[in-house]
Structure 1
Amino acid sequence: MKIKSLLGCTLLAALTLISCNNDDNVAAGTENEKIIINSDVQSLNKRIKFENSGVLDIITPSAGKNTPVQAGSLPVVLVAEVNPPVYAGKTLKATHVAINGNYAYVSYNTEGEAYGGAVDVINISNPNVPQLVVQAIFPNTDVSAVSYENGKLYIAGAASVDAFPNLSSPGFVSAMTLNNGLLTTNYVQTQLSGNVATSVTSVGNRYYAVSGGAGDLVALDKNTNQVQATIPVADLRAVGQNNNKIVVLSGTSGVKVYDANSMAPQGSFATSVDVPGAKRTIDFLGNNLLVSEGYNGLGVYNFSTGSKLQTIAVPTNIAGVDNADITTNAVSVNNQNVFLANGGAGLYIYKNENQALNLVGSVAMNGSCNYTMSKGDYIFAAMGNGGLKIAKMVTSTQTLNCSQFPTYNGSVWLNVNSNETKEYQGSASLMGVNVNANLTFCGSLSVSQGLNINSGGVFYMKGSLAQGQQSNPWLSLIINNNAVMRVEGDVVIYGHLILNSGAKLEFVGNNSSITIHGNVTKGSNVTITGTFKDTFNKL
């Protein structure tokens, strides 16, 4: 967070079209430039990398152990990595993500005293190949957070008072009218008191922003962008809305709740006092408020009473990681799954079970995790190197009745020996599968390493399967002589598919698909039957 003079003045400025630049490494803007739009898809997509895409192991962290032993219950794949934009010779850092439909909006700022930010729009309609479709560079302006609602993108951040002499304080919130979901220069900015606007949300006829330092909670009219209410609260980190209530988090005075219409106080309760300037988020799980509390981990509070129900301490003794680098920076709730950005310890997943959060595991993403947000099947993680990782939960859209099968809860290595028949349902994250007889899996399955169907083996996959890693394609899916793989659903293979002589690949029904990122090797007398979609035309 930039520490600048903290003056309380509100200014409304309409920003007009400035320039369109097709070079992602945009040069420094002039004093008058507010937005630089880049819609050159070819140049933008050079920043999206797929080399490390593939199945991610879910590990149970402990000192010196980074290999899972027990099968996980939440299969996850890394879809892509997005390198951060470079502006004025500086690499920006991802700060926040908002999702609407097929688009993800990613905000960036500049670390340290310099100012410079951006917003990316990523098309995620194809889960295998996300595309960067437009970018806005904000010269001399950091972007802290974004929020989407009804065709508008609300933006919170800080602008340099040296570059923009008409500003008396850096913090601002703005509303951008989008064009079919894409960024425009139809952009109205409102100055706030405080060093930086840290968070923004909207509900009803208003949008709301908070600013840090000697900051405020501000309510603005969506139609006129006029400030309708200002409530001073020091050191504000986050704002959210729940059941027509506006909830803010202060690093010094905890949680405060206001009525969204009257802005009358509805209650408050203390949380742990946080280190100055650190980014934090809040989210809601039923009637509970989840608060990222830095070195104090995650706090789970009853939203109505303020009583603390559970504390999720930060991980400790992670091999190769200094405990000082482990801090709960952000929390995101998606259905009954809770995702925590735990700094140097990485991304952690908890599941809400029996009114308590229980650890699912840590996602093996390699790196410090500063922010996370999950919606739908997607998980976004802003990493310490400034980039963004796009992950996706493996879920099945098939309507299959497999309730008679047990849930798999064994080893991460699933072996089916000769003369055995094994049948499972549910979701599982495995490292390897070896089939020598009969295996049926009904639901969602990920296999990070090899999947072998040996001679005489039959593997019936009913649902969604993800297998392998692009970085090591030789961890292949292999169907050997006189072996059968039967698919009723969707299969994604990140490595190679090897069909040895006499292998059989059978597709059941009319809605199956197969996506193969690696190569396909076919022996003699291979048979492929059924109706299916071959995404990359590899078969």
Structure 2
Amino acid sequence: MRKAYTKKITVLAVMVAIIGGCNILSNNESDNSQISVQNDIQTLNKRLKIVNQEIILDSTRAKSSISPTTDGDKFIHLANVESPVDADGNRLSATSIEIRANKVYVSYHLNEKLSGTAKIYAGAIDIIDMNEADEPEIISSVSFEDTDINAIEIEENAKLIWLTGGRNVSSSGYETGTHNGAVLGELWINDDVFVDDNYREIPLPSFSGNDIVDQGTNLYVSSGATGGGFYEVSKSGLEVLQSFSYNYAKSIDKREDDIIGLSITPSGEAQFNMIDFSSSSVNEFTSGFSVSPVDGKNVIEHRDAITYAAMGNLGVKGYKFNDSEPLFYEYNAPGGDAANGVTADGKYVYIANGTDGLFITTNPKSGNKEPESVYNWDNGSGSANFVKTDGRYIILANGTDGLNILKKKTGSD
């Protein structure tokens, strides 16, 4: 495994045409025809089905036959949410999930739908209310007719939602040689529902925005592939302040006092980038592991001093970069698919492993990288590509098959 090293990165010059944030709409025109908001609960919840059943965890493909119920934990399958369709009836694919104060926010994009040789773009975001714990409901949704939404971030007080994704560069209306379709947008939320007359966005270099995180007065965004990188964007002016060039910049998260990003090197290796934007420097750690597929969905989540990374064919690995032996956790699920997403709480690590479904592992003990117990839930015909937990709910995205909403019940519940 290669050692980390620190180097000073020259801040890229960003053209004025790219950094100027303004109140514009998704097609950079003066009408709102590309964005539509739906707040009718009855209509929205035709896509939601209440299940409310305890799930049976499979241990035949797992390391341990000991069920979480041994410790008094149970997992309840509360509901399924069907993915929305675009204006032409194409089913969208769930891409990203955030949870804030009993609300679940889900983004969608149109996955590889082609018209001739051109990709078609469309996206949406749902807000799901979890206040009635056993009967969640969709309370608001916004649709983008011309933009894929790949990732979202929610403002601390849930008054704003930031989104990143991509659109056909020829229809964006941005005149810049570095813009290839990636965008970063901001939409208001009022009384827990979307407002369609307050939207602004900026273009980003590269093809598509992949991930976004909020810290302090700024947003931090990863964008790829060719021409991509990691970007610091002011929330007030919605303008790029700094950028660091990395092709295949995959994912980004907060880590202690800095930002950590995952990228794929030209040779296909997973590389972690600890970015200190205040000093314009990056501490790079190349894992030595080659990730396949290179254009797959690779997600990181930093929790309790561990950075977990979904590395496709390599499964999930967790790192403590301040330790002499940084690799702290690793698990590669049996089966034929790849690790697309990962999230963790104080006890479990949850892995979205494509058509193999959801894997739930215990956190490793000190000195042992492998989890002590592993459980699998085959969630049906869908392909699990993203997962998020707040310690109570586990939300599993299954692409065009929508979402599974799970609830963890401990022995004290």
TM-aligned CA deviation for residue 31 of structure 1: 9.1
- The aligned counterpart of 2:225 is 213
CA distance in 1, matches of 2:207, 2:37: 26
My pick for the range that moved more, 96-105 or 71-80, is 71-80
2:298 aligns with one of 273, 280, 300: 280
**Residue deviations 1:179-214 (CA, integer Å, cap 9, x gap):** 133222322211111111000001111101010112
Question: Any idea what SS the aligned residue of 1:99 has?
Answer: strand
State the alpha-carbon separation in 2 of the partners of residues 127 and 236 from structure 1.
37
- Distance between the aligned counterparts of 1:332 and 1:216, measured in 2? 23
Structure 1 Cα separation of the partners of residues 399 and 105 of structure 2: 19
After superposition, give the CA deviation of every residue in 1:23-78 in whole Å (9 maximum; x if it has no partner).
Answer: xxxxxxx996331111111100110012x431101121339xxx988955431011
Distance 1:17 1:32 in 2: 8
Identity %: 23
Residue 123 (str. 1) matches residue 129 (str. 2): yes
Query: Residues 91 and 354 of structure 1: is their aligned pair in 2 closer, same or farther, counting only changes over 3 Å?
Result: same
Unaligned runs of 5+ in 1: 1-6, 19-29, 317-322, 396-443, 445-462, 465-539
Do 2:91 and 2:400's aligned partners in 1 also have CA atoms closer than 8 Å?
no
The verdict on how the C-alpha distance between 1:69 and 1:189 changes in structure 2, with shifts beyond 3 A counting, is closer
Q: CA deviation at 1:390?
A: 0.5
Given residue 53 of structure 2, which amino acid in structure 1 is its aligned partner?
G
Determine the structure 1 residue equivalent to 2:246. Answer: 233
The corresponding residue for 2:317 is 299
Verify the 8 A CA contact 1:156 1:197 in the aligned structure 2. Answer: yes
Once superposed, what is the RMSD of the aligned Cα atoms? 2.6
- Please say if residues 314 and 332 of structure 2, whose CA atoms lie closer than 8 Å, have aligned partners that are also in contact: yes
Distance 1:80 1:337, change over 3 A: same
Higher relative contact order (CA 8 A, sep 6+): 2
Map Cα deviations across residues 417-448 of structure 1 (whole Å, 9 max, x no partner). Answer: xxxxxxxxxxxxxxxxxxxxxxxxxxx3xxxx
SS at match of 1:294: coil
Instruction: Tell me if the contact between 2:222 and 2:252 (Cα under 8 Å) persists in the aligned partners.
Output: yes
Letter in 1 for 2:318: V
Offset of residue 172 of structure 1 = 1.2
> Quick one: which of 276, 287, 297 aligns to 1:259?
276
User: Per the alignment, do residues 72 and 272 of structure 1 end up closer, same or farther by CA in structure 2, a change over 3 Å counting?
Assistant: farther
TM-superposed CA distance for 1:114, in Å, is: 1.6
Determine the structure 2 residue equivalent to 1:78.
Answer: 77
User: 2:237 and 2:60 mapped to 1: Cα distance?
Assistant: 50
Of the structure 1 ranges 87-96 and 176-185, higher mean CA displacement relative to structure 2 is found in: 176-185
* Partner residue of 2:148 out of 142, 148, 159: 142
Matches within 5 A, 1:107-506: 107-112=107-112, 113-150=119-156, 151-166=159-174, 168-185=179-196, 186-214=198-226, 215-252=228-265, 254-270=271-287, 272-274=289-291, 275-305=293-323, 307-316=326-335, 323=336, 326-355=337-366, 356=369, 357-367=371-381, 368-395=383-410, 444=411, 464=413
Give the match for residue 14 of structure 1: 23
* Structure exhibiting the larger radius of gyration computed from Cα positions: 1
CA distance in structure 1 between the partners assigned to 2:256 and 2:76 by the alignment: 34
In structure 2, the CA distance between the partners of 1:188 and 1:262, relative to structure 1 (3 Å rule), is farther
Deviation, 1:285, is 3.5
Query: How many residues matched?
Result: 370
Q: TM-score, normalised by structure 2?
A: 0.83
Instruction: Pick which of 329-338 and 283-292 moved more.
Output: 283-292
**Amino acid in the other structure paired with 1:261:** S
CA distance in 2, matches of 1:233, 1:125: 41
1:82-114: CA deviation from partner (whole Å, max 9, x where unpaired): 001011210001001111112111000001132
Q: 2:297, 2:195 → 1: CA distance?
A: 27
Aligned with 1:44: secondary structure?
A: helix
Distance change (3 Å), C-alpha of 1:144 and 1:265:
same
Amino acid at match of 2:320: N
In structure 2, do the counterparts of structure 1 residues 353 and 43 end up closer, same or farther at CA, with 3 Å as the change threshold? same
Cα deviation for residue 371 of structure 1 reads 1.0
Q: Indicate the SS of the match to 1:45.
A: helix
Corresponding residue for 2:53?
54
